[in-house]
């Protein structure tokens, strides 16, 4: 997974990078560990916020496809990973917190 993520960074067009991230996310919905790897990558400083924000937003749209346990686990992971850069990811952080709260209420 990490090599595929690193390869996305070499793509020149922002639109093409998003499509690549989107494809990786779609493949990873069945694996919470792969989603965590993607989130860690997107939250890192080596990835532009122009690329990471839409990809993180896309992940939040896929959380409903996970089991409640996996959804909660991925959301908590994302919140922890975004914590150090929360001022850059306010909306995305809020989306993960909202999804986690909905699972906890269920």
Quote the pLDDT of residue 102: 85
Kindly state the helix (H) or strand (E) to which residue 14 belongs, with its residue range: helix 14-28
Q: What pLDDT, in 10s, does the model give residues 6-44?
A: 899 888 888 899 999 999 999 998 888 999 999 999 999
Determine contact, residues 79/43, Cβ cutoff 8 Å. Answer: no
Find all residues with CB under 8 Å of 18, minimum gap 6, and list them: 51, 54, 55, 58
Quote the pLDDT of residue 105: 82
Side-chain-facing half-sphere of 33: CA atoms under 13 Å: 2
Quote the pLDDT of residue 8: 92
- Residue in 85, 78, 30, 87 with CA at minimum distance from that of residue 55: 78
Find all residues with CB under 8 Å of 7, minimum gap 6, and list them: 20
Q: Mean pLDDT, the chain, as a whole number?
A: 90
Quote the pLDDT of residue 106: 66
Q: What pLDDT, in 10s, does the model give residues 34-89?
A: 999 999 999 999 999 999 999 999 999 999 899 999 999 999 999 999 988 888 88
3-state secondary structure of 72: helix
3-state secondary structure of 12: coil
pTM beyond 0.85, yes or no:
yes
């Amino acid at each position: 997974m990490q090599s595929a993520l690193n390869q996305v960074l070499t793509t020149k067009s922002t639109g093409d990078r998003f499509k690549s991230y989107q494809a990786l996310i779609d493949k990873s919905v069945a694996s919470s560990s792969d989603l965590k790897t993607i989130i860690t990558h997107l939250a890192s400083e080596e990835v532009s916020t122009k690329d990471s924000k839409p990809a993180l937003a896309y992940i939040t749209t896929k959380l409903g496809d996970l089991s409640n346990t996996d959804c909660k686990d991925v959301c908590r992971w994302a919140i922890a990973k975004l914590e150090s850069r929360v001022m850059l990811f306010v909306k995305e952080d809020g989306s993960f917190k909202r999804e986690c709260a909905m699972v906890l209420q269920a």
